[in-house]
């Protein structure tokens, strides 16, 4: 019988020796250098293949023309159109009409390696991130090519998908178009603020000249705006102006640093080139511009949209503004000004400004504003601008803080002749005749109960009251009622007398807490925003919050009722108001002729609407307000009669 040959089994061989044989413990899990190299090459190959596939799959889209086609439409509360802000302020020009200094300033500020890079810059993104962490000043993370792609081919949404597209389109564009054409396109599509797209519109808007006539100082200022016009437009306030000057200096110094300008050339530009005053388009004349201004501020606060986004157009904005009330408020201001002020006759009547706002207490809706005579001639919005001291109209917040935190303080409390605070009830004193004798009550009268202190502008009473309960508690009450903390004055002995400078919108809203059982909501002016049929999030009604106890609000409202009746009794329109209105809910706060503030206020509430009116004198170019003494004649109580007259004219509908 033949013997069967049995072949030995071959040992099993692994394709990848991992975990590694012949090693023990943790060494089994440490890859060899060959494995590391192979894995690295394999990974790089896969990434390269993926990159090539992505590059091939992304096409350069058609230019995005929506900004030139669409306007943003604002609607009244009843749904009718308020205004359409549509035509984009842009005029394309060639690179030959753009001065070299503008090209240099933009490249130095935004993308130093523009002429040598591939259109994208990973290094730039990393450098921007490091600078942001360190708080330094540097170029942006996106190249000029990337910014041009975003401006021209993509939407302004902030998403990973959009950034992904931007990256690959920038690479392709850089390969297909010359750097000169990309730079020209970038300068023609960039947002410079004040409604200006492109360098030509910006040159005219800020300096009133064509782009070709700009000097290096002016081009450095305009290049500064590319970092964010809302933060660097010098007309945006002191903070903006300071940032603009610093950025302007940096852009010039940066050009010297990278060899685009000599130190001698830089030395010729030491004085900041102040731009022209900001103006609004004629479609935003009258009160329209002020209404749009308030709506836009609210939109930016609630949604994160920027002025640049809004200027691109295509939005539908539904507001809380009531057409009839806005027009009636404007007529009331014009009527009183025409009848009672005469700038030609009385120098004190010159430079008089008025601001007013009506807020609905039940939900905080801003239904009407008066921002000034015309939004195209006075850019500042008097209804929504801080800076005007509120005077005695602030005292109700002091009273509310005392009633809320004063441990026994009531409307009948007050100070005796010795300056001691007397709360309700008689004081007890021990009689003579021995320590065993029982205390007996003695009646100690107060010089002026708190319920009457407001009507008489009792400055001493409120100074003492603020000190007694603590100025921090007064401030806390004012903030709870809705005044912005940044508008409140420093906490010194004059604080209770109204040295703070809230806006008319905020004062009207804060007073709603007194007539709404201590509840108030953040003032809102927009009920909804859509774009391309899609709803922009963030515009639900603000939820009412408790500002003070209901009993406190009721007591303060009672006191403000006395102020209202006392004030209206002096006004010639009181009888008409009483005949046409049910005045059970009437209340008001006001400044007084004894106030030494450079302003006059009246905040009145009736029939479910709270309206604040302020008057002050502001000469253009003068930082300080002018005095109110003599405005409207010697019997105007330092101008205090006029906000009252505007309010009564508005309330009566005459």
| Main-chain phi, psi angles of 459, to 5 degrees | -60, -45
The 10 Å CB-count burial string (b at 16+, else e) for 514-549 is: bbbbbbbbbbbbbeebebeeeebeebeeeebeebbe
| Residue 178 token pair | 């010359």
The secondary structure of residue 71, as a DSSP letter, is -
Between helix 160-176 and helix 33-57 the angle, nearest 10°, is: 80
Instruction: Tell me what pLDDT residue 46 has.
Output: 56
Q: How far is CA 80 from CA 36, 74, 186, 295, 525, in A?
A: 69, 9, 38, 16, 16
Contact status, residue 323 vs residue 80, Cβ threshold 8 Å: yes
Pick the CATH number of 94-278 from 3.30.70.2740, 1.10.3810.10, 3.40.50.2300, 2.40.10.340: 1.10.3810.10
Sequence ranges of the domains in the chain: 64-86+280-410+469-654, 94-278
Strands of 419-493, DSSP E:
421-422, 427-429, 440-442
Q: Which residues contact 101 (CB under 8 A, 6 or more apart)?
A: 214, 215, 216, 219, 220
Please write the tens of the pLDDT for every residue from 20-72.
666 666 666 666 666 666 667 666 665 555 545 554 544 545 454 544 455 78
What is the per-residue pLDDT across 530-566, written as a single tens digit (0 to 9) for each? 987 889 999 999 999 999 999 999 999 999 998 888 8
Q: Give bridge partners of residue 316 from the DSSP assignment.
A: 73, 530
Record the tokens describing residue 116, joined without a space: 């040598």
Rounded distance between C-alpha atoms, residue 383 and residue 354, angstroms: 8
**Secondary structure of residue 296 in the 3-state scheme:** helix
Round to whole Å and give the CA distance between 292 and 294. Answer: 6
Q: Looking at residue 423, what is its pLDDT?
A: 83
β-bridge mates for residue 421, sequence order: 415
Q: What pLDDT, on a 0 to 100 scale, did the predictor assign at position 545?
A: 95
Q: Is the dihedral of CA 376, 382, 388, 392 positive or negative?
A: positive
Nearest to 589 by CA among 436, 486, 483: 483
- Burial (CB count <10 Å: 0-12, 13-18, 19+), residue 376: middle
Do residues 654 and 573 touch, judged by C-beta distance below 8 A? yes
Burial class of residue 267, CB neighbours in 10 A (0-12, 13-18, 19+): exposed
Which tokens is 342 given? 């005469």
Rg over CA atoms, the chain: 34
Q: Look at residue 463 in the predicted model and tell me its pLDDT.
A: 95
Same fold, 64-86+280-410+469-654 and 94-278: no
Cis bond upstream, residue 276 (ω within 30): no
Q: Which DSSP helix (H) or strand (E) runs through 405?
A: helix 395-405
Query: Per the structure block, which two tokens stand in for 115?
Result: 């002429």
The CA distance from 90 to 65, in Å, is 12
- CA separation for the pair 109, 251 (Å, rounded): 6
Cα angle 77, 82, 83; round to 5:
150
Please state whether beta strands 315-319 and 72-75 pair in parallel, antiparallel, or not at all (unpaired): parallel
CA angle at residue 65 from 89 to 535, to 5 degrees? 95
Q: Is 366 exposed, middle or buried, given 0-12, 13-18 or 19+ CB atoms closer than 10 A?
A: buried
Q: Taking Cα atoms as reference points, which of 9, 588, 642, 653 lies closest to residue 352?
A: 642
pLDDT at 439: 47
Query: What pLDDT sits at residue 45?
Result: 61
Q: Give the start-end residues of each E strand in 378-487.
A: 414-415, 421-422, 427-429, 440-442
Comparing C-alpha atoms, which of 220, 219, 200 is closest to residue 210? 200
Distances (CA, A) of 210 to 92, 98, 100, 214, 248: 12, 9, 14, 7, 20
Contact 142, 150 (CB under 8 A): yes
Cβ-contact 148, 182 below 8 angstroms = yes
Q: How far apart are CA 318 and CA 76, in angstroms?
A: 7
CATH superfamily, domain 64-86+280-410+469-654, is DD-peptidase/beta-lactamase superfamily (3.40.710.10)
pLDDT in tens, 152-170: 765 544 445 555 566 667 6
Calculate the alpha carbon distances from 361 to 274, 444, 602 in Å.
43, 40, 17
Q: Which residues contact 89 (CB under 8 A, 6 or more apart)?
A: 195, 196, 197, 201, 205
Q: Which long-range contacts (CB under 8 A, 24 or more apart) does 160-165 make?
A: 165/58
* Tokens describing residue 490: 């420093």
* Residues lower than pLDDT 50 in the chain: 51, 55, 57-58, 60, 62, 64, 66-68, 128-129, 132, 137-140, 156-159, 425-437, 439-443
Q: Say if CB 185 and CB 197 are below 8 A apart.
A: no
Q: Are 28 and 18 in contact (CB under 8 A)?
A: no
Q: What pLDDT does 638 receive?
A: 85
**What letter does residue 541 receive in the DSSP assignment?**
P
Q: Provide the pLDDT for residue 510.
A: 97
The whole-number pLDDT of residue 314 equals 81
CB of 421 within 8 A of CB of 413? yes
- pLDDT score for 6: 57
CA distance linking residue 526 with residue 76, whole number of Å: 10
Tell me what pLDDT residue 648 has.
92
pLDDT tens-digit readout, 255-279? 999 999 999 999 999 999 999 988 7
Tell me how far apart the alpha carbons of residues 224 and 218 are, in angstroms, rounded to a whole number: 10
Rounded Cα gap, residues 628 and 637, in angstroms: 9
The pLDDT value recorded for residue 448 is 84
The pLDDT, as a whole number, for residue 432 is: 47
Beta carbons of 203 and 217 less than 8 angstroms apart: no
**Phi, then psi, of 180 in degrees rounded to 5:** -65, -40
């Amino acid at each position: 019988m033949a013997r069967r040959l049995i072949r030995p089994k071959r040992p099993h061989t692994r394709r990848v020796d991992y975990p590694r044989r012949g090693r023990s413990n943790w060494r089994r899990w440490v890859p060899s250098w060959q494995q590391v190299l192979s894995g690295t090459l394999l990974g790089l190959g896969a990434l390269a293949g993926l990159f090539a596939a992505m590059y091939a799959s992304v096409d350069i889209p058609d230019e995005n023309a929506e900004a030139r086609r669409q306007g943003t439409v604002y609607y009244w509360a009843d749904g009718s159109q308020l205004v359409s802000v549509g035509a984009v302020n842009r005029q394309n020009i060639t690179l030959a009409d753009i001065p070299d200094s503008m090209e240099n300033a933009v490249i130095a500020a935004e993308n130093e390696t523009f002429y040598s890079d591939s259109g994208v810059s990973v290094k730039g993104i990393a450098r921007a991130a490091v600078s942001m962490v360190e708080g330094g000043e540097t170029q942006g993370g996106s190249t000029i090519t990337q910014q041009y792609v975003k401006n021209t081919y993509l939407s302004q949404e902030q998403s990973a998908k959009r950034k992904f597209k931007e990256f690959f389109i920038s690479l392709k564009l850089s390969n297909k178009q010359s750097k000169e054409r990309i730079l020209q396109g970038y300068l023609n599509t960039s947002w410079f603020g004040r409604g200006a797209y492109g360098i030509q519109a910006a040159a005219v808007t800020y300096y009133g000249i064509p782009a070709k006539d700009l000097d290096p100082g002016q081009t450095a200022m305009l290049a500064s705006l590319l970092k964010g016009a809302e933060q660097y437009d010098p007309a945006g306030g002191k903070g903006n102006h300071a940032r603009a000057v610093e950025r302007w200096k940096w852009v010039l110094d940066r050009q010297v640093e990278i060899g685009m300008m000599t130190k001698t050339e830089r030395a010729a530009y030491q004085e900041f080139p102040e731009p022209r005053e900001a103006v609004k388009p004629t479609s935003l004349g009258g009160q329209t511009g002020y209404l749009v201004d308030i709506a836009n501020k609210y939109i930016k606060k609630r949604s994160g949209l920027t002025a640049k986004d809004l200027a691109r157009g295509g939005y539908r904005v539904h507001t809380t503004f009531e057409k009839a009330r806005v027009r009636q408020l404007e007529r009331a201001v014009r009527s009183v000004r025409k009848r009672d002020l005469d700038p030609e006759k009385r120098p004190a009547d010159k430079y008089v400004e008025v601001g007013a706002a009506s807020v609905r207490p039940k939900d905080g809706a801003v239904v009407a504003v008066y921002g000034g005579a015309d939004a195209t001639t006075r850019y500042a919005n008097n209804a929504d601008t801080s800076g005007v001291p509120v005077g005695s109209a602030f005292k109700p917040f002091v009273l509310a803080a005392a009633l809320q935190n004063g441990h026994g303080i009531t409307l009948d409390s007050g100070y005796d002749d010795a300056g001691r605070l007397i709360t309700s009830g008689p004081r007890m004193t021990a009689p003579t005749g021995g320590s065993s004798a029982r205390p007996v009550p003695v009646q100690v009268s107060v010089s002026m109960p708190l319920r009457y202190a407001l009507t008489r502008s009792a400055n001493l009473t409120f100074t003492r009251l603020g000190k007694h309960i603590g100025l921090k508690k007064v401030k806390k009450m004012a903030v709870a009622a809705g005044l912005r903390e940044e508008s409140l004055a420093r906490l010194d002995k004059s604080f209770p007398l109204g040295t703070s400078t809230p806006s008319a919108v905020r004062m009207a809203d804060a007073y709603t807490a007194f007539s709404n059982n201590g509840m108030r909501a953040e003032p809102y002016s927009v009920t909804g925003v859509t774009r391309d049929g899609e709803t922009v999030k963030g515009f639900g009604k603000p939820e009412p919050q408790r500002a003070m106890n209901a009993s406190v609000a009721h007591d303060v409202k009672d006191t403000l009722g006395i102020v209202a009746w006392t004030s209206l009794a002096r006004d010639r329109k009181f009888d008409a108001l009483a005949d046409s209105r049910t005045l059970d809910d009437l209340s008001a706060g006001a400044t007084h002729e004894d106030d030494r503030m450079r302003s006059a206020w009246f905040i009145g509430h009736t029939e479910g609407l709270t309206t604040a009116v302020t008057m002050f004198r502001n000469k253009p170019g003068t930082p300080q307000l002018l005095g109110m003494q003599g405005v409207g004649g010697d019997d105007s109580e330092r101008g205090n009669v006029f906000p009252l007259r505007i309010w009564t004219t508005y309330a009566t509908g005459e």
